[in-house]
Amino acid sequence: MLGTLSYNKQKTIIIVSFLLIPLILLGTFTYYPALKLIYYSFTNWDGYSPEKPWVGLANYKEVFTTPDIFKVFTHNFAYFAMGIIQNIVAIYFAVILTGKLRGKTGFRILLFLPYIMNGVAVAFMFGYVFDTTNGSLNVFLNNIGLSSLAQTSWLGTDGLVNYSLASTGFWRFMGYNMVIYIASLQAIPRDIYEAAKIDGANSMQTLWRITLPNMKPVIQLNLFLTVTGALEVFDLPFVLTKGGPAGASQTYVMRVVDTAFAYSNYGLASAMSIILLFFVVFVLLLQQLVLNRGGDK
């Protein structure tokens, strides 16, 4: 039936019909909630009452005048720092695993392995690894002669708990970043490398002039995901430490979720979400600015 129409008409039909449902889904479950969130942020809705009293900017004022709320971002910083290292390590492994190397398939399979593991299971697994008295990390440190470190309470020390949790995230997601980088490396057409070889380029020149510039969009995407990931950490501390000890590992998103679902303060929680969104946008713009200016193209 479609075949009898001109390709121009078919094109219109396909574009509309193929995009209709996906865009409805995107609108209903992403953009509509986001708009509602903006609306709620100007009310002090409790989550169930039919009326949503308008309070103007009161929620935003509360967020900015309660230093306690912003302090939790210092907990998120650990995830950001680890995320940057994670990307560097991932690019490193991706580059060496796309080169000539014996056993690279095996290494690739093993390094990616943590990503496929269930997050809650991994969280409890690390709960055991980090355990102070029986934990295998301390047992291991003791075995290799670092007994001074072997008494560390990895999840019970204020400054340390977030880095312990973030390193669990590193453990889980490095392989994922690596595989994305490998895919982008393999998408670079082989003939560019062959042409470079004919022109006498060495491997460092190839890396700087061909490999990394071609990976730039993917690096940008991964960095963006790292930053948003760090700002939005939730699962790991929620499962493993429940924000403890005494709130030392509570992240911003955990606080938003608590504010809404535990304290029924949907208005304030919505304002906190919108502020988070602004931070994400700000960081993204900053990153674009820095990376695009620093580019050697």
Partner 1 sequence: MTHSKSKFSIPDFLKYLSLIIGVFVVLFPPYVVIVNAFKSTDEFNSSSSMALPKNFLNFDNFIAVFQRGGLLSGFGNVLIIIVITLTLNILFGTMVAFVLGRFSFKLKPIVFGAYLVATIIPSITTQVATFGIIKNMGLYNTLGAPIVLYIGADVIQIILYLQFIRNIPVDLDESAMVEGASLFKIYRSIIFPLLTPATATLIILKTISIYNDMYIPYLYMPKQSLGVVTTVLMRFQGVNSGEWNLICAAILLILLPTIVLYFFLQRYIFEGVTSGAVK
Scanning residues 156 to 195, which ones bind partner 1 (CB under 8 A)? 171, 175, 179, 182-183, 186-187
Query: DSSP state, 171?
Result: H
Burial environment of residue 95 by CB neighbours within 10 A (0 to 12, 13 to 18, 19 or more): middle
Does position 149 interact with partner 1 (CB under 8 A)? The reply is no
Interacting residue with partner 1 among 146, 195, 281, 289 (CB under 8 A): 281
Residue 174 sits at the vertex; the CA angle it makes with 172 and 179, to the nearest 5 degrees, is: 115
Interacting residue with partner 1 among 124, 146, 286, 290 (CB under 8 A): 124
Cβ nearer to partner 1, comparing 134 with 148: 134
Is 255:62 a contact under the CB 8 Å cutoff? no
**In the complex, least distance from residue 42 CB atom to partner 1, rounded to whole angstroms:** 13
Interacting residue with partner 1 among 60, 73, 80, 115 (CB under 8 A): 115
Interacting residue with partner 1 among 51, 65, 118, 144 (CB under 8 A): 118
**In the complex, least distance from residue 273 CB atom to partner 1, rounded to whole angstroms:** 4
Cis amide bond preceding 114, omega within 30:
no
Packed helices 119-129 and 136-143: angle between N→C axes, nearest 10 degrees = 50
Contact map string, positions 43 to 82, toward partner 1, x by CB under 8 A: ----------------------------------------
**In the complex, least distance from residue 5 CB atom to partner 1, rounded to whole angstroms:** 8
Does position 3 interact with partner 1 (CB under 8 A)? The reply is yes
Exposed e or buried b for every residue in 137-175, given b needs 16+ CB within 10 A? bbeebeeeeeeeebebbbbbeeebbbbbbbbbbbbbbbb
**In the complex, least distance from residue 170 CB atom to partner 1, rounded to whole angstroms:** 9
Nearest to 239 by CA among 136, 121, 143: 121
**In the complex, least distance from residue 86 CB atom to partner 1, rounded to whole angstroms:** 12
Nearest to 54 by CA among 38, 73, 76: 38
Does position 285 interact with partner 1 (CB under 8 A)? The reply is no
- Number of residues interacting with partner 1: please give it, by CB under 8 A: 94
